[in-house]
Copies of this chain bind each other. A is one copy, B any other.
Amino acid sequence: MKEWIQSRRTIRKYKSVPVDDALLNELLALAGRTQTMGNLQLYSVVVTRSQEQKERLSPAHFGQPMVTQAPVVLTICADFNRTSEWCRQRKANPGYDNFLSFINAASDALLFTQTFSCLAEEAGLGVCYLGTTVYQPLQIIETLQLPRLVMPVATLTVGWPDESPALSDRLPVAAFVHDETYHNYSPADIDQHYAAKESLPENQHFVSINHKETLAQVFAEIRYTKKDNEALSQVFLDALRQQGFL
């Protein structure tokens, strides 16, 4: 793992070669070894292979081309429905229609997803997380027919890589590791931690084509704005309520 993780890249273009069912199932089963709360495995994975379903999912992901081009789209859900059904079939009263249970199931689902992502990349597959999953959950819920106590938390597109993008930058480890207590960031700390990122030609180009003065402005004023975040927070909370977690 140490060998490939240093050079891992997110892959958004895939060969038109299918991903074998046996391989996919093997990787999903292996990812099932991931740590989980009380060994309950509070997640489900919906596998989309049909073109029709990909096209239905596409608008929820703002039409990003990976959704219809990737041979496989995985929607990973926080799932307390299965465990609750199990309880009901076993003379137990489930009490998982609440926010903490969403947090527990979402954590299980995300840890599972990341183990899967690592296994898939190590097997030579390319994957891409779609951050849009949490923007329009209601469309995904409807398309995948997710019942109460099931909430989508991650989407991965999966396929054989048909591109080899440049390695993306990362902050130095000192930027995110704190010794014993959290040490807040002085202006000098910020300068130091973000210097390399801000000086990269691709990031400077990104600032310039967006007609901004700083890279942070591109994020705060174009990509992830307060207005959008506030509107999407409401949508997500409404979806949690509809699915019975709030």
Contact = CB atoms under 8 A, between A and B. Distances in A.
A196 interface: no
Residue among A33, A35, A92, A217 having the largest count of chain B Cβ atoms under 10 Å: A35
Contacts of A145: 181-182
Contact residues on A (Cβ < 8 Å of other chain), bracket: 35 or more
A191 to B, nearest CB: 7
Contacts of A227: 95
Interface stretch (A58-66, A146-154, A157-165): A146-154
Interface string A91-113: 11111101111011011001101
Given A220-B95, A233-B99, A118 B117 contact: no
A135 B99 CA distance: 12
Number of copies of chain A assembled together: 2
B25 A173 contact: yes
Contact of A90 (B35, B144, B150, B216): B216
Given A85-B185, A113-B111, A229-B101, A92 B221 contact: yes
B119 A182 contact: no
A93 B117 CA distance: 33
A204 interface: no
29 contacts: A1-B1, A2-B122, A5-B33, A5-B115, A28-B173, A32-B173, A40-B219, A41-B170, A41-B175, A43-B176, A45-B177, A47-B177, A47-B178, A48-B180, A82-B176, A86-B185, A91-B217, A92-B219, A92-B221, A93-B220, A95-B230, A96-B224, A96-B226, A100-B229, A107-B154, A110-B110, A144-B181, A144-B182, A145-B182
Interface of A: 1-2, 5-6, 8, 10, 25, 28-30, 32-35, 37-41, 43-50, 53, 77, 79, 81-83, 85-87, 89-96, 98-101, 103-104, 106-107, 110-111, 113-115, 117-119, 122-123, 129, 131, 134-135, 143-147, 150, 153-154, 168-171, 173, 175-182, 184-185, 187, 190-191, 193-194, 213-217, 219-221, 223-227, 229-230, 232-233, 236-237
